[in-house]
Amino acid sequence: MKAAYLQFEPRFGEVSSNLRAMQDLAANQAGEADLLVLPELASTGYLFQSRDEVFDLAEAFPGGPTADCFTQMAFDLNAVIVGGFAERSGDQVYNSCALVRPDGSSHIYRKAHLFLDEKDWFVPGDSPFEPVPAAGTLIGMMICFDWYYPEVARLLALRGATIICHPSNLVLPHCPEAMKVRCLENRLFAITANRTGRDERGDRSLSFIGMSQVVDPGGQILVSAPPDGDHVGLVEIDPRLAEDKDVTGRNNWTRDRRIDLFGDLV
């Protein structure tokens, strides 16, 4: 299958032009993709000034322009789309991503580990770390700072994920290196789709590091983006490689885990 990330710079609050930018980039550069990952909060931008502001920009899924756009992209590209958005559910707002299949069916993952002021804007996610069937394999989702908690990738791997889709708005520099380890220690693929540029709101600003990437189960980067600029990285991957959990002739990732010594972790 062909897996891809789409890196771009959302403009804060300009939902329709952000959606159009992603649609245009995808149509021009990701036409062959079977799986395309978009950044975190791709339709709204990131640096909110209040919970009310997030609430006003947040959307139900389905039922809003982001859901319509992701669904249209999945259909047009005949690909699975995974992308981040601010999700309104009743009177709660989550930092979520949606996985949408070409037939329009979808799953939502709500970010568990909120970063910095996201704690003022969103409710922590309540989604299980459970992969879903899509594109002929099992796909796990996590959002940006979830990378800092290796338990997330580990649970997704233990439950059979072969690919982790990782919509992001990275600000710290460590994640691209860390994701190589997440892949190696869990023997799966990861697609990190980050944004670029800077949100400037009031007296505050935040810069994002780009460097989106696809990593294989051996921890090798297959394709990666520069720190700035729009970039679609597309690469052929075989998810079956992630089903082989033999590390050496005498070491199996699953069977050799010493859960009898892991104590509180299990």
Task: Give catalytic status of residue 40 as yes or no.
Answer: yes
Task: Give catalytic status of residue 97 as yes or no.
Answer: no
Please say which residue, 109 or 145, places its beta carbon nearer to ligand ACM.
Answer: 145
| Look-up of token digits 């299958």 | 1
User: Which residues lie near ligand ACM (CB under 6 A)?
Assistant: 40, 115, 144-145, 169-171
Cβ atoms 126, 172 nearer than 8 A:
no
* Least gap, CB of 193 to ligand ACM (angstroms): 12
- 90: Cβ contacts below 8 Å, ≥ 6 apart: none
What does the CA dihedral 94, 95, 101, 107 come to, rounded to 10 degrees?
A: -40
* Least gap, CB of 39 to ligand ACM (angstroms): 9
Q: Which of 111, 165, 175, 180 is catalytic?
A: 111
* Least gap, CB of 112 to ligand ACM (angstroms): 11
Q: Which of 69, 144, 175, 183 is catalytic?
A: 144
Task: Give catalytic status of residue 111 as yes or no.
Answer: yes
Please say which residue, 142 or 235, places its beta carbon nearer to ligand ACM.
Answer: 142
Please say which residue, 19 or 175, places its beta carbon nearer to ligand ACM.
Answer: 175
Please say which residue, 137 or 192, places its beta carbon nearer to ligand ACM.
Answer: 192
- 163: Cβ contacts below 8 Å, ≥ 6 apart: 3, 35, 137, 138, 139, 140, 188, 189, 190, 191, 237, 239, 242
DSSP run (H or E) holding 151: helix 150-158
* Least gap, CB of 49 to ligand ACM (angstroms): 16
Least Cα distance to 5 among 180, 168, 140, 175 occurs for 168
Q: Which of 9, 40, 87, 118 is catalytic?
A: 40
* Residues annotated as catalytic (active site), given as ranges: 40, 111, 144
